[in-house]
Structure 1
Amino acid sequence: MRLLVLNQYFHPDVAATGQLLTELCVSLAREHEVQVITGFPTYDPLEPRRRRLFAREDMEGVRVLRVYTWRGSRKTLVSRAATYGTFLLSALLAGLLVRRPDVLMTWTDPPLVPFVGWMIALARRRPLVIVVQDLYPEVAVRLGTLRHPWLIRAANALLRLPLRRAARVIAISEGMRRRLMEKGVPTERILVIPNWADGRAIVPCERTNPFARAHGLDRARVVLHSGNVGLVQDFETLLRCAERLRAQGGLDGVKIVIIGDGAGKRRLQREAAARRLTNVLFLPYQPKERIKYSLASADVAVILLKPGLEGYVEPSKVYAIMASGRPFVAAIGSGSEVARIARTHDCGVIVPPRQPEALAEALRALLADPARRERLGRNGRAALLRFYERSLAVSRYDRMLRALHHERGARG
């Protein structure tokens, strides 16, 4: 089976969707002919590739076609719009020119990729699969970044159309499935396949490891946030929590470590400096081979999501945390997938969002209870291997794609 995949981010980009998609495509390429249309890497300012209209690569059996993408800072709205726009136009052209696939699959980064995928699928007369990682325009509306009524209506129309016409729509949680049904996506076309982590690449490691020693974390109690520093995470609550932990004392050497990058990082760094939060440390994204050590440096991981986004956004960092055998505290709505995982598998603690006092108290209690930390981490690792491991997710995608291809063949 020939599978064509569209998404702006792919290896070596460190965006979560890029890492997940890379793992999925590499695994599927062992059984299928997989081609990915993607952009040139944008997260690394030192990325050496020269921008061209098209550039072909091969990665572990995956044929990668990189298309022209504006190279600019991701920190401004105009630059990000230019990056997204050039990718979408280039991807549309490439999708119409490459060898005709049996199935076309798009993810949702950037949000208009499914619309481009629908146009390509319509022109090539092939079934479309949309994997919904974030649900737009609802995310932008709830964050307040999209406010004008006619822009909201236009975005709704452009983004709802491909979802309703796709042969399959993949939701990454039951909550997201319900949100998709509210948008009018036919129930019978929605399939829930959770995100995952690679339990062989991310394994429990000693707290005192090369990464921890390099950053002085082996001598501290570490609360870790690892991943995107964007607009959907409630970092204001984390900073106010850091202030309370510092003021209350009683736990020596507590360090809040924020690893990653994103649209909100510079503002967050300025805020931490203005408040003189010397107990907050910022570090860049880590190479994949070091992630198991960076996660292992934590006593407790933290997950943040602004209220009202449950089912529209589901933090996938929870799976890497579980793979590392570390417990987590999540400041998140009770209806989120993270909260369900914590309740079902007894691997984390949930506190209401935007309540820094509750977050600080939960962290203090867990930091003071090593036996409970060990139990929660062990439960998380066991649940990851049983329900959310990479190989399990790949099998679910493989079965879905084969069934769709078979249906198409049966109809002639």
Structure 2
Amino acid sequence: MRILLLTDNYPPESSPPALRCSMHAKRWVERGCHVNIVTSFPNFPEGKVFGGYRQSLFKRETLDTVDVLRVPTLIFANSGTLLRIADFLSYMVTSSIASLFVKRPDVVVATSPQFFTAVAGWFVSRVYRRPFVFEIRDLWPDSIVAVGAMKEGLAIRLVRRLEQYLYRKADLIITVTSAFRDILIARGIDGRKIAVVTNGIDTAQLTPGPAPAELRRKLGLEGKSVVSYIGTVGMAHGLQLILDAAEAVRERLPEIQFVIVGSGAELQELREQADRRGLANVTFVGRVAHAEVLEYWRLSDVTLVLLKDTPLFRTVIPSKVFEAMATGTPIITNVHGELQTILEPLDAAEIIPPDDLTALVAAIERLLHDPVRRQQLSAAAVRGAKRFDRTALADDVLKALQRLVSRSQSSPGP
């Protein structure tokens, strides 16, 4: 089976969409499929093309046995909402054109959260007269409204209409949470064409282990208790709360060091705030290669999984939680809803009220002073992570694609 996968994010980027697409594509190749990836030049989240790459008309490469075709896009460093939308639209155009120069696929898959990727996927599927699969990792434009990047208005209403049109036209929809599926059904989408396949992790690669002494020395963390945040530093995450917690404990608990690993739209603002407030107990590491992330998980005594408190974010499962679970890193989270239904039965995290500084500080202090509880959370998380092995999840997606292609080949063409 030939699979054409359109995604704006792909390694060497290390965002959850990039890693999910990469792992799935590699697994599908192992299972005998031919996979073509059409993606942009790596630039997320800083909005700068990664070292070793330079934008050109098209660039073909093979990464881990997967054929990758990179297309040029409008890239803006630290851009606002309108410039980012221009970037998204440019990918829609260039990926649509480039996809016409690959061998005809049996199925076309387009993955969000970059919504306009789906427009390109639908267009290409119509040209090739092949089934269109829409993978929904984020409800867009709801998510940009939820974080305040745009307000409800004509533009959002028009995008919602386009969104609904694509949902109806998709031959198969894959969502990463059951809550997303319920929302789509409530909007009139046939539940029979919606499959739920969660995010996951490579459980063979991400394992518990001792804290790396060299990294601890490099960051000046000898004798410190490390409270980490590892992931995108974006508008959705409400990381101001970490700075508030750091300020609340710096005099009383000087042994605690908050370590923020990652980059994104809010990183510079948080750095400037930390400087203004004199928060020497906050360390900003910036973006690290995904191969190095394991060391930071192992370095962490406790990790934070945070999101702003909006109804939409109660439907999501932040991908970082699976990495934390697999590495046995004790978790404190203020994310309720879908994530809570996973963690609570496992007793794999301390779940606190959203946007509650007092509760966050109390949970941090409680866990750092209770090694037995940390070990309980760690063991429960590692056991629970086995349910989210990415290889098995890639197989689940492939089975759904195979069923769809089989049906399309046995029915009359459009």
**TM class by smaller structure:** over 0.9
So what's the TM-score if we normalise by structure 1? 0.94
> What secondary structure sits across from 1:121 in the alignment?
helix
SS in 1 for 2:244: helix
SS in 2 for 1:34: strand
Q: 2:88 matched to 1:91?
A: no
- Could you tell me whether the CA contact under 8 Å between 1:303 and 1:330 is conserved in 2? yes
Counterparts of residues 186-265 of structure 1 (less than 5 Å): 186-247=190-251, 249=252, 251-265=253-267
Identify the range of structure 1 (172-181 vs 127-136) with the bigger mean alpha-carbon deviation.
172-181
Deviations 1:257-299 (A, max 9, x none): 1000011111111111111111111002222222211100001
Deviations 1:107-150 (A, max 9, x none): 11422111221111122211111111111111112222221521
Q: TM-score, normalised by structure 2?
A: 0.94
Rounded Cα–Cα distance in structure 2 between residues aligned with 1:145 and 1:131: 23
Structure 1 equivalent of residue 167 of structure 2: 163
- Residue 376 of structure 2 corresponds to which residue in structure 1? 375
Structure 1, 108-117 or 225-234: larger mean CA deviation: 108-117
Paired residues for 1:42-191 under 5 Å: 42-43=43-44, 45-191=49-195
Distance (Å, rounded) in 1 between the aligned partners of 2:294 and 2:267: 23
Shift of 1:45: 4.8
Partner of 1:305: 307
- 8 Å CA contact 1:139–1:313 kept in 2: the answer is no
Extract unaligned runs of 5+ from structure 2: none
After alignment, is 95-104 or 79-88 more displaced? 79-88
Residues 109-118 or 28-37, more deviating: 109-118
Instruction: Structure 1 unaligned segments of length 5 or more: list them.
Output: none
CA deviation map 1:231-274 (0-9, x unaligned): 10011222212222224x1x441011100001111111111111
Q: Which range is displaced more, 258-267 or 124-133?
A: 124-133
Deviation at 1:46, TM superposition (A): 4.7
Aligned counterparts of 1:307 and 1:185: Cα–Cα separation in 2: 27
Identity of aligned residues (%): 28
Partners of 1:311 and 1:161 in 2: CA distance: 25
Report the secondary structure of 1:4's partner residue: strand
State the Cα distance separating 1:54 from its structure 2 match: 1.2
Question: Does structure 1 residue 330 correspond to structure 2 residue 333?
Answer: yes
| Counterpart residue number, 2:280 | 278
**One-letter code aligned to 1:107:** T
User: 3-state SS of the aligned residue for 1:217?
Assistant: coil
Q: Is the 8 A contact 1:163 1:169 kept in 2?
A: yes
Q: CA deviation at 1:312?
A: 5.1
Q: Could you say what the CA RMSD is over the residues aligned between the two structures, in angstroms?
A: 1.7
User: Which residue identity lines up with residue 268 of structure 1 in the other structure?
Assistant: L
- For residues 349 and 220 of structure 2, the distance between their equivalents in structure 1, rounded to whole angstroms, comes to 26
How many residues in Structure 1 have an aligned counterpart in Structure 2? 407
Runs in 1 of length 4+ with deviation above 3 angstroms?
A: 43-46, 74-79
Correspondence 1:363 to 2:364: yes
